[in-house]
Amino acid sequence: MFNLHYLLSYVLSLVAYYSINLLVISSFFSLYLSEKLAGVIISIGKESILNYLISLVMAFLLAILLGGYPVFGIILYTIIIVLLSIAFKKYFHLYEKMTKDKIYQEQILNSLPVGIITVDNDSTNFSLNTAASTILEMDGEEVKGMVSVKEGNPINASFWSILASQKICQNIKVPYVKEGRDHYLLVSQSELLDQERALIGRIFHFIDITSTAELEKRIYQSEKLAVLGELAAGAAHEIRNPLTVIHGFVSLMKQSFTEKDKNKYQIPLLLKEFDRINTIVEEMLMIAKPGAPVLKCVFLEDVVKEIPYISVVQEGISLKVELERVPLMVDAKQMKQVFHNLIRNAKEAMEGEGTITIYSKQLENVYQIFVKDTGSGISEKMKQTIFDPFVTSKDTGTGLGLTIVQRIIENHHGKIEVQESSAAGTTFLITLPLPSN
């Protein structure tokens, strides 16, 4: 007869056995996957509890059979338990294989240089691969929070609007501001389908093309300067020839005229304007062909000190040079022209009163030079075109000084940019490569 007297003890024994097995197996997979133990226990527990419930039911059947057919009951129970053990072992290997496949797929996704965000339609969960987390500096919950903002995100609005709109798109270039610096991302979004081609979510992927965009901008700038250079070279030579003749006659007039006649015909003013025209012609020729830099090992501090008119502090303007003595392979003559133009612009921006500071910072592979003034700053609109030819905010400026500076720095495989500008002043940043040896 079936006796329920020991039912509680048997159930407790089976539960203990199940718990021990579950804990041991889950601990193994937790260490193997580097995941939280609780999550692995829940996952394995859901899949294996049915097997143990079957074992419990079979134990009841065995108890009933032992009352009438003890031998047959033991044999039947043994066969069923063996079959269940084999099934559980197969499940174990299947789970292990699925785990390895999952790890392999995650490794592939995390190794890609493309940021990938997958969105589940049912739970609206956002999963990010390593590249996406690195570029955005966010996790899934933070991305979900940004997308769920109803009023829209004023910062990086283009990027988040595409992700929130569920719009299918390909290769859209959008700006993305991170840590105060402008970046550009190439964004695409596509549908995520299951094996039955049913829509279960979407895939949002993007890549950082900031360096490519900057390279395209530099190529465009170089092409524009090349065209301007060809035009400037021809025009400058044609202008200089008659200019030399006119300047010679005016100089003779200055020597022959009396002081009264000189003032009457504005001879000093004419000569001054001739010099100004000649300066413009020389700058146009420099843009046309600045010349390949003749590289020598020099210290920039010595180059700055060789500029004649800044060695003496002018009234109202002070100059501070705090450059680290680091040897650089540069053309000293061309770099002198760079500092001459930048200092001249700074003095004009300060309108006769202020401080010009030139200091540096050495990084791993580059040498950074900062030229800072205390002028009135540069407008946001002017920043976008400040290195373009003939762009100037001064009445007497030619708009070629910074274009020449950029051309020289690029010929040295460096870069110049406006690091910051406000009502308190402007800072230009020049980045030059350090010598390999």
pLDDT value at residue 393: 64
As a whole number of angstroms, the distance between CA 385 and CA 221 comes to 11
pLDDT at 289 over 70: no
Most confident of 90-94, 289-293, 335-339, 427-431: 427-431
- According to CATH, the topology of domain 211-289 is Helix Hairpins (1.10.287)
**Domain-by-domain residue ranges, the chain?**
4-110, 112-208, 211-289, 293-437
pLDDT over 70, % of the chain: 77
Q: Which residues pair with 119 in a beta bridge?
A: 126, 202
Cβ atoms of 77 and 63 closer than 8 Å: no
Going by C-alpha positions, the residue among 394, 378, 376 that lies closest to residue 386 is 378
Most confident of 18-27, 304-313, 339-348: 339-348
Helix (H, G, I), strand (E, B) or coil at 327: coil
Pairing of strands 354-362, 317-322: parallel
- Helix 267-288 vs helix 210-256: crossing angle, to nearest 10: 150
Please give the model's pTM, rounded to 2 decimal places.
0.48
As a whole number of angstroms, the distance between CA 155 and CA 179 comes to 12
Q: Which of 3.20.20.70, 3.30.450.20, 3.40.50.620, 3.40.50.300 is the CATH number of 112-208?
A: 3.30.450.20
As a whole number of angstroms, the distance between CA 60 and CA 62 comes to 5
Burial class (CB in 10 A: 0-12, 13-18, 19+), 197: exposed
As a whole number of angstroms, the distance between CA 347 and CA 401 comes to 13
CATH 3.30.565.10 matches 293-437: yes
Kindly write down the DSSP assignment for every residue of 179-211, as one continuous string: TTEEEEEEEEEEEEE-TT--EEEEEEEEEE-HH
Span 174-216, pLDDT tens digits: 888 887 778 889 999 998 887 778 888 888 989 988 888 878 8
